[in-house]
A and B are shown apart, each in its own frame.
Chain A
Amino acid sequence: MIFFYKLRIIQLEIDAEIGEAVLEKKRDFTLAGVRSQRIKEFLIERFFFVNGLLATLILLGIFSLLFAKGYPALRELGWKSFLFSAHWNPTSYEIPRYGILSLINSTLMVTLGALAFAVPLGVACAAFISEAAPPRIREILKPAVEVLAAIPSVVIGFLGIVLVNPVISTVFGISHGLNALNGSILLAVMALPTIISLSEDALKAVPKTYKEASYALGANRWQTIVRVSIPSALSGIIASIMLGMGRAIGETMTVLMATGNARALTFNFLDPIQTMTATIAIELGEVPYNTTHYYALFIIGFVLFLMTFLVNLVSDIILQKYQEVDR
C-alpha cells in the first residue's frame, strides 16, 4: 500500500515537472505551433549547412581567384614562357622576363634538402618514442615536439640568420651562410614535428599481435621495429612525410630570411636561392596593382597552390586508405 502511495507521489512530481517545463518554455502544441517549430528547425539546419559549406567555398574561391588573377599574365606571355624559362626578372628595363623554372627549382631544392634531414631523424625519433623510450624520456620528448611545432616561422628564420648562418660559413669557408643548405636545415626543423607526431601515431596503430608474433619467432626488439613495425606503419609514415613536405613547400618566412634570395638557376646547396614563396613575399609589396608583374605573382601562387594541394591530397588518400584497413 505504501509502495503505491510512493509511486503516486513520484508520478505527481513528474507531472508537475513536465507541466512546469511546458509552462516555462510556453511550447505550443497546436498544429500551427508544431509547424512553425518545424520551419524554425529547418532554417537552423540550413544555416549550419551553409556554414559547413564554407570551407569548400573558400578552397574553390582561392583556386579560382588565383587563376583569374594570373590569367591576364598567362594570356599576354604564354604559359611556355613561364614554365620553360629560368629567368625571372620582371623589373628589367629592356625585356622583363617571367620564367619561374629557377623559382620552382629552388623550392624543390630546399624541400628535398629538408626531407633529407627530417625524414631519417623524424622517423627514428618516432620509433624511439613509440617503441624504445623509457617513460620518463617520452614524457619530455612528446611535449618537446609540440613546443617545437608552436615556434613561429619568423623566429626560426631569425635563428637561421644568427645561428645557422655563421656555422655554415665557417664549416664550408664561404663568405656567408645564407643559402639553400641553411633553408633546408630550417625547413627540416619545421617539418620535424609533423613527421614525428604523425609517424608515431602510425606506429602506435600497429596491432600488438604483429609484434608478439615477431617475438615468438625469435626476433629481437630491433628486428621487430625494422622489419615489422615500420613496414606495417609505412603508409602512415609516408603520409606524414608528405604532410611535412607540403609544409616545407609552402613555408615563406624562414626561406625568405635564410636562403639569400638570388634568382639564378643552381643545383648547388651552397648557393643562395630564391623560392616561389619568397618571390611573392618580396615583390607583391612593391608592384603596382593589376600590372603584368602583379598578375605573374598570382601565377606563382597558383602553381604553389597546385603543388601543395597535390601533395596534401596524396597524403590524405594514403591516410584514409590506411585508416580503413585498420578498422
Chain B
Amino acid sequence: MKKKISEQLGFLVLTFSGIFVILILGVILFDVISKGIGVISWEFLTHPPREGMTKGGIFPALLGTFLVSVITVLFAVPLGMFAAIYLHEYARAGKLTRLIRLSIRNLSGVPSIVYGLFGVVIFVQTLNFGTSILSAGLTLGLLTLPWTVTACEEALKTVPKSYREGALALGATKWHSIRTNVLPYAIPGMLTGVILGLARAAGETAPILFTGAAFFLPHLPKSIFDQFMALPYHLYILATQHHAIDQVRPIAYGTALVLLALVFTLSLTAILVRYQYRKKMKG
C-alpha cells in the first residue's frame, strides 16, 4: 500500500515538472506576444526610430542583423563544411582526430563574451577592420563554427557508405566520389544545420557589443566597414540603457517579438528542410 502511494506521488512530481517546463515556455511566449503584437505594424518594420527611439520603427536594426548574418554565413559555412568533410571523409582514427573533435566540443562551450574579446583583438585591432559589420560578422562566424562543423558532419553521416564505395569501385578518385556521390545528398542536411546556427547567431548580443553594434545611427550602413544597429542589441538598449525606460517599453516588447519571430522562423525553416529531406531519403 505504502509502495503504491509513493509511486503515485512520484509520478505526480514528474508530471508536475513536465507541465512546469511547458508553463515556463507558455509564460514567456504569452507575455512577449500579448504585449508586443500591438506595436507591430508595417511602419514599425520599415521605418527608423524617431524622437530618441521613443517612436518609429526598428528597420535599421533589422537590416543590421541581416547584413551581419550574411557575413557570418559566408565565413562559417565554407570553413565548417570543409572541416566536416575532413573529419568524416579523410581523417583516420588517431590522436590528432581526437584532439580536433575535443577542440570542436570545447569551442562550442566557450562563452560568447570571450568570442567578443577575441574579435576585438583580432578583427577590430589587428586586422584593422574597426568596429564594423565585417568584424561583428566574422566574430559571430567563429562562434557558429563548431555548430556548423557538427551539423555538416551529421549530414555526411546520413549518406550511406555504399554511395562512396560504388563510385570508388568504378574507378573514381576519392575527391570525385565525394563531389558527385556524397555532397549532393548531404547538402540539405547541412543546410538544416547552417540555418539553426544562423538562428542562434542572429540572437547573440555579447559578441557584437564591442565589434560593431551601435546604440543609434542616423544613417543606414553604406559598406561592411560601417557600424550597424542590431536587433538583439537594440532590445538590450531599450530594456536597460534608455533614459525613458517606461516610455519605450512597448517598443522593447515589439523588438523582442520580432527577434523571437525571426529566430523561430529560421528554426522552423530548418525543421521543414530536414523533414522534406528525410522524406526524400526514404522514398
Using a CB–CB distance below 8 Å, which chain A residues touch chain B? 37, 40-41, 44-45, 47-49, 51-56, 58-59, 61-62, 65-66, 69, 120-121, 124-125, 127-129, 131-133, 137, 140-141, 144-148, 150-159, 161-163, 189, 192, 196, 220-223, 225-226, 243, 246-247, 249-253, 256-257, 277, 280-281, 284-285, 289, 297-298, 301, 304-305, 308-309, 311-313, 316
Contact = CB atoms under 8 A, between A and B. Distances in A.
Contacts of A153: 203-206
6 contacts: A41-B174, A121-B17, A147-B267, A152-B259, A152-B263, A256-B236
Contact of B104 (A55, A196, A281, A309): A55
A312 B111 CA distance: 11
B106 A312 contact: yes
Contact of B21 (A144, A226, A249, A313): A144
Contact of B235 (A53, A120, A155, A249): A155
Interface of B: 3-4, 6-7, 10-11, 13-15, 17-18, 20-22, 24-25, 27-28, 31-32, 79, 82-83, 85-87, 89-91, 99-100, 102-107, 109-118, 120-122, 125, 142, 145-146, 149, 173-175, 199-200, 202-206, 209-210, 232-233, 235-236, 239-240, 249, 252, 256, 259-260, 263-264, 267
A47 B79 CA distance: 11
Nearest to B81: A51
A282 to B, nearest CB: 9
Nearest to A45: B90
B24 A189 contact: yes
Contact of A226 (B10, B20, B149): B10
Contacts of B142: 58
Contacts of B252: 158
Nearest to B85: A48
Nearest to A52: B86
A5 to B, nearest CB: 26
Interface core residue of B7, B115, B206, B232 (most chain A CB under 10 Å): B206
Given A49-B90, A257-B239, 6 more contacts: A48-B89, A51-B82, A147-B264, A157-B239, A284-B116, A301-B114
Contacts, number: 252
Contacts of B210: 284-285
Contacts of A51: 79, 82-83, 85-86
Contacts of B22: 140-141, 144
B25 A148 contact: yes
A69 B268 CA distance: 41
Pairs A-B, 3 closest by C-beta atoms:
A250-B111, A152-B203, A52-B86
B239 A161 contact: yes
Contact of B175 (A44, A243, A280, A308): A44
Contact of A284 (B10, B83, B209, B236): B209
A155 B259 contact: yes
A58 B200 CA distance: 20
Contact of B111 (A40, A69, A157, A251): A251
A145 B19 CA distance: 11
